Amino acid sequence: MIDLRSDTLTQPTPEMRKAMFNARVGDDVFGEDPTVNALQEKIARLTGKEAALFVASGTMGNQVSINAHTQPGNEIIVEANSHIFNYECGSPALLSGVQVMPLPGFRGSFTVGQVEETIRPENVHHPKTALICIENTHNRAGGTIFPYQDIEQISLLAREQNLKMHLDGARLWNASIATGIPISEYARHFDSVSLCFSKGLGAPVGSIIAGSQEFIDRARYYRKAYGGGMRQAGILAAAAIYAMDHHFERLSEDHRRAKKLGEFIATLPDVELDLETVQTNIIIFDIRKRGVDGQKFVDLLASEGVRMITFARTKIRAVTHLHISDMDIEQTIAALKKVYDKIEKHTISVSKN
Ligand SMILES: Cc1ncc(COP(=O)(O)O)c(C=O)c1O
């Protein structure tokens, strides 16, 4: 089975498992796990921040950061299709007591002008705007890259207005490889950055947040409060270190394969796919015009040995990753051709009934 549903599906490689097996460990709640400490120092250096904190997941990284930056009753600005707004269980309200202001984005990004219009003026009626969150790359927009110049401008405004900036960089690795802009260049515009090891980098578990020492001290408290104080977590940190050292540069291969697959999908009749969105390892296309239900489409594709996932009723997502080869892309293209044939027949049989 060629599994293109997500880049989170990767299995740790034999070499990664060896690194995990050999990891020196200690109790990380005591701050005594040497491998976790090494990972945190490595990320602090990579991001150009004072400190970093290993967390269980991307969601935990985002939510701990939001709590550490805000007070209950504050408002945070996000993009309307962002992971924080759509896929984190309402946690800004649940865990931090803040209200979320979603901005309509273009390919997952928004402009300084939009932020300027959204920041609340000081007035007894309003919540206080406290934080701006940016997602880069943007999952639901199709792995799109938030333009660097927009980040610069938004960050400048945030500083002028005394607002904090958080980067949901679950796939910042992909943005950095695709643009050639170093992680630290992105990170310097933010008060906190969250990075995932369990997506394109192929580690089994784990994310990390980076920021000032003072921010990380507060974040450590929230991580513990959320039940995220792990003990011999060095086993996981070893996988993360291995992933960074061996699977970061190769992300360009995932991008090349996604582009090839995206270019083919765009040629299929009645498929809506904005090729401009295929900037990294994610392809999102819409088969609405074909008149076929998305679930039916992915079921048919699975019967040809390829798995993709529905993102909305007629939207389908495919993600390239560590376990997807050039041959897999060829086979996926062949399977898509076959499914298109079947859809033709299926559509006819449905209309007859
Ligand atoms: C952009 C983005 N942020 C955060 C997350 C959350 O990561 P996790 O599943 O590790 O909680 C994801 C997961 O896919 C994501 O795509």
Q: Give the predicted TM-score (pTM) of the model.
A: 0.96
pLDDT band at 167 (very low <50, low <70, confident <90, very high): very high
d(CA 343, ligand 1 centre) in Å: 33
**Ligand 1 atom nearest to 137, measured from its CA:** 1
Nearest C-alpha to atom 16 of ligand 1 is from which residue? 139
Give mean pLDDT, residues 160-169.
98
DSSP string, 106-132: BTTB--HHHHHHHSPPS-TTSPPEEEE
Checking if the pLDDT of 192 tops 80, the result is yes
pLDDT single digits (tens) 292-307: 899 999 999 999 999 9
Say which residue the tokens 């090891």 belong to. 197
Phi-psi region of 31 (alpha: psi -120 to 50; beta: other; left: phi over 0): left
Please tell me the residue having the least CA distance from ligand 1 atom 8.
58
Instruction: Calculate mean pLDDT across residues 266-283.
Output: 96
Q: How far is CA 151 from CA 109, 174, 231, in A?
A: 9, 16, 36
The Å distance, Cα 269 to ligand 1 centre, comes to 32
List residues near ligand 1 (CB under 6 A): 57-59, 62, 83, 135, 139, 168, 170, 196, 198, 207
Closest by Cα among 165, 59, 63 to 119: 165
Pocket test for ligand 1, best of 5, 7, 10, 59 (most atoms within 8 A of CB): 59
- Chain centroid to Cα 294, Å, comes to 23
pLDDT for 347 beyond 70:
no
Q: What is the pLDDT of residues 41-97, one digit of tens each?
A: 999 999 999 999 999 999 999 999 999 999 999 999 999 999 999 999 999 999 999
Given a cut of 50, whether residue 350 has pLDDT beyond it is: no
132 burial type by CB count under 10 A (0-12 exposed, 13-18 middle, 19+ buried): buried
Query: How much is the pLDDT for 292?
Result: 87
Q: Which of 208-212, 251-255, 347-351 has the lowest mean pLDDT?
A: 347-351
Closest CA to 251 of 190, 319, 332: 319
What's the CA-to-centroid distance between 170 and ligand 1, angstroms? 6
pLDDT bucket at 348, cuts 50 / 70 / 90 = very low
What is the CA(119)–ligand 1 centre distance, in A?
26
Could you identify the residue written with the tokens 């000081």? 122
Residue 106 has pLDDT above 70, yes or no: yes
Locus of tokens 């904190």: 53
What's the pLDDT at 345?
58
In the predicted model, is pLDDT for residue 349 greater than 50?
no
**pLDDT (tens digit, 9 = 90+) per residue, 214-265?**
999 999 999 999 999 999 999 999 999 999 999 999 999 999 999 999 999 9
**pLDDT the model gives residue 352:** 35
CA of 83 to the centre of ligand 1 (A): 7
Identify which of 306, 313, 353, 310 has the alpha carbon closest to the alpha carbon of residue 334: 306
Q: Is 159 left (phi over 0), alpha (psi -120 to 50) or beta?
A: alpha
Percentage, residues of the chain above pLDDT 90: 93
Q: Which amino acid, residue 37?
A: N
Instruction: Report yes or no: 50 and 44 within 8 Å, Cβ to Cβ.
Output: yes
Alpha-carbon distance of 45 to 22, in angstroms, equals 24
What mean pLDDT is reported for the chain? 96
Ligand 1 mean position, distance from CA 115 (Å): 24
Beta bridge partner(s), residue 164: 131
The best mutation among 139, 174, 282 to test binding of ligand 1, ranked by most ligand atoms within 8 Å of the C-beta, falls on: 139
